[in-house]
Amino acid sequence: MPTRSTVILGTGSYAPARVLTNAELSTMVDTSDEWIRTRSGIRERRIAAPDEASSDLGVPAARRALEDAGLTPADIDLLIVATVTPDTPMPACACYIQHKLGIPTHAACFDLNAACSGFVYALDTACAMLESGRYRKALVIGVEKLSSIVDWQDRTTCVLFGDGAGAAVIGLGETPGVGLLGTRLGSFGEGTDLLCIPRGGSRAPSTAESIAARDHCIRMKGKEVFKLAVRCMDEAARDILEQHGIRADQISLVIPHQANLRIIEAISSYLELPMERFFVNVDRYGNTSAASIPLALDEARRTGRIKPGDLTLLVAFGAGLTYGSALIRW
Ligand code: COA
């Protein structure tokens, strides 16, 4: 067991200004507001401008988190960016953000890809690195410009995703029992083909033909992913509660990955926790992958849904198929 505890010192988020409504989407593909709302709970999503890269979304979220923590970029010696849409395949999005924010060169900066579970994975990584005593202050960002990898002709996926960013500043805590109490991460590698970008990697580099077929975009087997999402998130939530001897009804707020309102409702029913204890903003942002949990966490804090002493459960699921949970005492 680590002797040091880690705490969230501040959070921030940012969503691009452009709102894409279901009504507007239904002029682009054969869909309707009614279909999207009843199947997913999504009403609108944000779309980054063509010249806005993931780092441009991550920077304002990070600035807000630093301001909330009362710190400056000079205080950060560890930057982890969870994303599947870095500005470029190489170098890491973290390096662009480091440069734009002016984080010192002695800071460790890298990206982490655990898809929609990325923020929970990055949080766990940052906390372990802080607990090692080798780092003092971490900035963890979940950011996505999913509009850049969505197939805008595929109605089964393009209606679900959006762009955004969320960030958290993490430091070492002084009060025992307050901060990140634990995490439970997992991965179901058998499911790699259920949610993926088939081309553009080392297995099958993009060709003119594959690009014409839009195989560099997200492909998903929605029904299978839905079932596994519910199963894995329920397991991740139950396991961590059991590990810490905590009953579900002791959790003040669950911040689930915002993929689909029906998935969140299923978890609420499995855990026998009412929907009022779940933070939901999927209606306004759609699924923003690694950005979804930190964006929701920041909105929850800023709207007074989290108070000192509360227990919050983060629970995530994404391509991989990765999943994970984190338990935080404020
Ligand atoms: N508009 C209108 N009709 C659509 C549509 C759209 N945007 N997308 C699909 N359809 C059609 C399908 O073609 C299908 O038609 P058919 O019956 O004639 O073949 C019909 O609607 C029903 O499709 P189905 O796949 O059964 O819908 P569903 O109830 O499973 O909902 C999802 C589809 C994608 C919303 C749902 O499966 C889901 O949310 N899956 C999980 C996705 C997810 O969260 N992924 C990210 C995890 S991190």
pLDDT digits (tens, 9 = 90+) for 124-144: 999 999 999 999 999 999 999
Which domain covers residue 226, as residue numbers?
179-329
Q: From residue 189, give the alpha-carbon distance in Å to each of 101, 228, 231, 320.
A: 35, 12, 15, 6
pLDDT > 60? residue 1: no
Q: Which one of 156, 188, 283 would you pick to mutate in the ligand 1 pocket, going by the greatest count of ligand atoms within 8 A of its CB?
A: 156
Mean pLDDT (whole number) for 28-53: 98
Domain end, chosen from 172, 187, 213, is at 172
257 part of a folded domain:
yes
Q: Whose CA is nearest to atom 14 of ligand 1?
A: 156
Three-class secondary structure of residue 273 per DSSP: coil
Same-domain pairing of 149 and 278: no
- Between 4 and 32, the more confident residue is 32
pLDDT > 90? residue 112: yes
Helix (H) / strand (E) element for 144: namely strand 137-145
What is the structure's pLDDT at 3? Answer: 62
Same-domain pairing of 96 and 228: no
Same-domain pairing of 141 and 276: no
CA 51 – CA 35 distance, rounded (Å):
31
Active site residue 116: yes
What is the structure's pLDDT at 258? Answer: 98
Same-domain pairing of 114 and 224: no
Cα angle at 145 between 85 and 212, to 5 degrees? 75
Three-class secondary structure of residue 327 per DSSP: strand
Query: What's the mean pLDDT when you consider all of the chain?
Result: 97
Same-domain pairing of 116 and 251: no
Q: Which one of 39, 149, 218, 232 would you pick to mutate in the ligand 1 pocket, going by the greatest count of ligand atoms within 8 A of its CB?
A: 39
1 part of a folded domain:
no
Q: Checking DSSP bridges between strand 179-187 and strand 322-329, what pairing results, if any?
A: antiparallel
Q: What is the pLDDT of residues 146-199, one digit of tens each?
A: 999 999 999 999 999 999 999 999 999 988 899 999 999 999 999 999 999 999
Q: Choose, from 116, 158, 217, 232, the residue flagged as catalytic.
A: 116
Q: What is the pLDDT of residues 204-253, one digit of tens each?
A: 999 999 999 999 999 999 999 999 999 999 999 999 999 999 999 999 99
Same-domain pairing of 17 and 128: yes
pLDDT > 70 fraction of the chain, expressed in percent and rounded:
99
- CATH code of the domain covering residue 251: 3.40.47.10
Active site residue 287: yes
